[in-house]
Amino acid sequence: MADNLACVKAEMKKVAMQRMAIPSPGPGQALLKMRLSTICGSDIHIVDEMPVPAGVPMGHEGVAEVVDVGDGVTGFQRGDRVVASCLYGCGMCPRCQEGNRQVCERYVAPMNLLFGCQGEYYLVNSAEVNMAKVPDEVEDESALLATDIMSTGFAAIENAQLQFGDAVAIFAQGPVGLCVTAAARARGAGFIIAVESIAERIAVAKRLGADAVVKPATAVDEIMRLTGGKGVDVAVEALGSEATLQNAFKVVRWGGAVSSVGVYGAYPTVSLPTDGTFLHRRFVTTLCPGGSDRLRRMMDLARYSKVDLRPLFTHQMKLSDTVAAYDLFRNRRNGVIKVALRP
């Protein structure tokens, strides 16, 4: 088969485009042809911080068409438009059976992550468990977001057990934080406070449901003022910064919850404030929930017009320009939130 053009981790802090052979699907696998991909904040962590070897194809968010399937894959056929979860599950181990496919005991981190979506072709393991067909009514952009950041952002709110009418503060309005903001509105939050300083992200946050936006430098004081000194019921840390995590604890009321979806790869340890604001609060962390049913549920929110996250896509680029897209995304230039990569 023809060569596969893909973005790979070339070395620490560097990606490159590379030609490689198109793989053949083994048992349980599906071979997909990319229609749409993007760059995630986790990709930056993988390139800059994680011990993932050079030469590994990058990308774990994509919409694609089925090219071929291996033995045991009966639910998909050539030409199906599909998405796959960014984190694999085998569907059979105890963690998968209890609904936590993102921490599958068979696929162990970091190799439980889908790789290769920033390429023309890529493989999906345990396809029957980890893939879902995209409904005709759902555009590629909405389907793609269901594979990672939408599922992650919504899970941050689910795991915090946010109740109707709760006040919530969401620290950072990057791609994941914006999904958290949309989730808070969809879940019925009463007062949604976003923490952000970039104008383009502030505008999208307001569009997705933020009632107030405060600057990071004064966030704690402003949130306490806006809540009459009580604090919020839920604070979400969506940046991956130790200082931001500490601020999230400082603005949560007694008995409230801090929910973290940040990746703290740049920190060997993180600490909590010792002024008492960590006492009698719940602290939950979340990895992206996966699996075919989760994908269908996320896509149905777009399918039936409950949530529209397409405004997150601010830039369109060709797959061949992925290295430049990394530079754009890494440095947050030109108001970038998400880059749509197409063949």
What pLDDT score does 52 carry?
87
- Distance in angstroms (rounded) separating the CA atoms of residues 323 and 165: 43
What pLDDT score does 2 carry?
64
Query: Which residue, chain included where needed, has tokens 């998909």?
Result: 76
What pLDDT score does 273 carry?
84
Calculate the CA 146 to chain-centre distance.
8
What pLDDT score does 78 carry?
97
Q: What are phi and psi for residue 38, nearest 5 degrees? A: -160, 180
Kindly give, in sequence order, each residue whose CB lies less than 8 Å from that of residue 36, ignoring residues fewer than 6 positions away.
Answer: 62, 63, 140, 141, 144, 340, 341, 342
3-state secondary structure of 257: strand
What pLDDT score does 278 carry?
83
Helix (H) or strand (E) holding 152: helix 149-159
Please report how the helices 175-187 and 199-208 are oriented relative to each other, as an axis angle in degrees rounded to 10. Answer: 20
Pick from 132, 164, 186, 188: nearest CA to 305: 186
pLDDT tens for the 343 residues of the chain, in order = 569 999 999 999 999 999 999 999 999 999 999 999 999 999 998 999 888 899 999 999 999 999 999 999 999 999 999 999 999 999 999 999 999 999 999 998 877 999 999 999 999 999 999 999 999 999 999 999 999 999 999 999 999 999 999 999 999 999 999 999 999 999 999 999 999 999 999 999 999 999 999 999 999 999 999 999 999 999 999 999 999 999 999 999 999 999 999 888 778 899 988 887 888 999 999 999 999 999 999 999 999 999 999 999 999 999 999 999 999 999 999 999 999 999 9
- Distance in angstroms (rounded) separating the CA atoms of residues 149 and 218: 27
- Distance in angstroms (rounded) separating the CA atoms of residues 49 and 45: 5
